[in-house]
Amino acid sequence: MPEHATEILRVDLLNHPAVKAWGEVQPGRLGPKSIEILQQHRKSAVYRLEGAGPGGSTIIAKRCQSATARIERAIYEQVLPCLPITAPQYYGFMEEDDKYCWLFLEDVGRQRFSPLIEEHRMLVGRWLALMHTSAARVAAKVRLPDRGPNHYLEHLQSAREAILYNLANPALTADDVALLETIVSQYNVLEWHWSELEKWCERMPPTLAHGDFRPKNIYLRADQASIGVFPLDWEMAGWGVPAADLAPARGLHSAHQVNLMVYGSIVRDHWPSLDIQTIQRLASVGTIFRRLAAISWESPVLTFDDCETLSEPLACLRVYQAELSEAIQLIPWAQ
């Protein structure tokens, strides 16, 4: 969720779609003092409604596609309230039509988690450990999408298919083709060894996995006693081995964003077989999973035959391929 508003609206607020939707969820609430547009795309939008919540508080209104909205709704309604962790207050859900829904949440502030600050990494390590261990029983009762190894194998297969289909794209340079062929080669190796990745995943019990646990989705909020961690954007979440949550964010492959020592000290009370070496290996497996997902999300763009349009996605693919290669080397069978 963006930290800063792209635009602030102060007039004709009651006719805004977010305010109308909020009025359906909470009839009789006063209208907002202002609306900050945090994100506004064709398929999703996020607004900050100042003064529209209980006691004049600020709320976040998120419009997104129904499939992902229902995942988030299940987690905010049925899972997070049962866990011993900080989470934003959930205010409600509304179906706009058969394609889009609205979610309404507490505004948790503007301070982002920074993986460059050790205290932040320790806080996130503790929060994630408590979430993973306490959610194992609760989330098992909720219908959530699969986020186990098969989910990421599907990412591998779909991206490889898209890459092979578009190798003859005339907008690709010789260097671009070489990059894509390298990715396909790496994918073939990974698929050949996939059963070994699955065995690593079996060392960690399935639980709730956030699926997109990276700095832009994690907020911190301080009160008089402590600092709370508030991960948002649960649309990629599901049930499975949460290795991807332990992995570094994109572009941060040289340093972990989660303090794995703090994480391990907590999860071992529940899962004693997880020593620090196993947790570190699972973080490497998680890095592979995250890069497979990232490449899969970029690969449909390869159908475009415009060099300018392809420039940024190919730059991203170069980074992801390098990080994928580094992660593969950390798995024992690659050595």
Would you list the DSSP string of 257-324? SS-HHHHHHHHTTT-TT--HHHHHHHHHHHHHHHHHHHHHHHGGGGG---HHHHHHHHHHHHHHHHHH
In this predicted structure, what is the pLDDT of residue 223? 84
Give the residue ranges of the chain where pLDDT is below 50.
Answer: 253-254, 335
CATH 3.30.200.20 given to domain 7-106:
yes
Residue 34: strand pairing partners? 50
Sequence spans of domains, the chain: 7-106, 118-334
Q: Determine the pLDDT at residue 250.
A: 66
Question: Which of these, 219, 248, 213, lies nearest to 234 by C-alpha position?
Answer: 213
pTM: 0.92
Fold of 118-334: Aminoglycoside 3'-phosphotransferase; Chain: A, domain 2 (3.90.1200)
Residue 60 corresponds to which tokens in the numbers above?
Answer: 């976040």
